[in-house]
Amino acid sequence: MLVRLDSTQLTVTEAPLAFAERHADAIAAHWNRRVAAQPRLWNGPQFLFTDVRVHGGVLHGTAHRTDYAAFLFWRDHRRDGSAVHITGASLGVTTDGAIIAARMADHTANAGQIYFPAGSLDPGDVAGGRIDITGNIRRELAEETGLEPPLADFDPAMVAASIDHAWYVARRCRLALSFAECEARVRAHQAATGDDELAELIAIRSRDDTDRLRPYARALALWHFDDVERGEGR
């Protein structure tokens, strides 16, 4: 399902996440297994959500503090709807018409998967008791790629893909660089910071390129290309 959004209202609560409490032992065991296979995984803080709904062009939800271990267990085992994952994603469109995607490095939890720069919402995205999803989208893009377009280069509206109790909220960004220039910027960023989360940058230039994407990312890409055909996207 794809939904156009005007804004989000994701309010942080201090109430515990019932899903994490109910599965605490299984979460710990699953985390130990994952770390044994991928030692560079980090159990950082993040949010899972309850009471998620869309009303009047606004995505509402209640954000519960939890950690990456709980998210991984939820993702890998029990997407039962008692918890919902929300993440931000950027649709960076280059001057030569490509959407910037990336293949994830082998040491990450999404090894080999291809999607757009994105990241889970965490306490650093909270302002005034609410989550700033645009701030998350811009931060993740900068951290992963070194690209830091100004807010004015992002479309005002958002689009969200909802699949299997997860929401992927995207904002399209008009980058002032070609794909080749973005590749060079990413390589320089990785050399300067040591960040190696992205194995390679991938240009998504048409519908024919979308089959390799994760399902939610493919849905977002197809929405963009539909916009291009209508003359609304670039």
Angle in degrees, 0-180, between the axes of helices 68-76 and 24-37, rounded to the nearest 10: 90
CB atoms within 10 A of CB 154: 20
The contacts of residue 3 (CB under 8 Å, 6+ apart) are: 54, 59, 159, 160, 162
Beta-ladder partners of 187: none
Res 180: pLDDT: 98
What is the rounded distance in angstroms from the CA atom of residue 87 to the CA atom of residue 109?
A: 15
Residue 117 has pLDDT above 90, yes or no: yes
Give tens-digit pLDDT for 158-204.
999 999 999 999 999 999 999 999 999 999 999 999 999 999 999 99
Rounded to the nearest integer, the mean pLDDT of the chain is: 94
Segment 114-140 shows an average pLDDT of 94
Start-to-end CA distance of the chain, whole Å, equals 23
| Cβ proximity of 100 and 149 under 8 Å | no
Inform me whether the pLDDT recorded for 234 exceeds 60. no
The pLDDT tens digits for 4-60 are: 999 999 999 999 999 999 999 999 999 999 999 999 999 999 999 999 999 999 999
Please report the DSSP string for the chain in residue order. Answer: -EEEESEEEEEEE-S--HHHHHTHHHHHHHHHHHHHH-TT----EEEEEEEEEEETTEEEEEEEEEEHHHHHHHHHT---SSSBEEEEEEEEEPTTSPEEEEEEPTTSTTTT-EE-SEEE--GGGEETTEE-HHHHHHHHHHHHH-----GGGB-SSEEEEEETTEEEEEEEEE-SS-HHHHHHHHHHHHHHH---SEEEEEEE-SGGGGGGS-HHHHHHHHHHHHHHHHTS--
Give 217 or 230, the one with higher predicted confidence. Answer: 217
Given a cut of 70, whether residue 233 has pLDDT beyond it is no
Q: Tell me what pLDDT residue 228 has.
A: 86
User: Which pLDDT score, from 0 to 100, does residue 23 have?
Assistant: 95
For residue 232, the model assigns a pLDDT of: 67
> Tell me, what's the pLDDT at 87?
96
pLDDT digits (tens, 9 = 90+) for 207-229: 999 999 999 999 999 999 998 88
Main-chain phi, psi angles of 75, to 5 degrees = -65, -40
Q: Give pLDDT, residue 181.
A: 97
Residues 6+ apart with CB under 8 A from 234: 93, 97, 174, 228
- Amino acid at site 114: I
pLDDT in tens, 70-98: 999 999 986 788 999 999 999 999 999 99
Instruction: Give the residue among 86, 71, 84, 87 at the shortest CA–CA distance from 23.
Output: 71
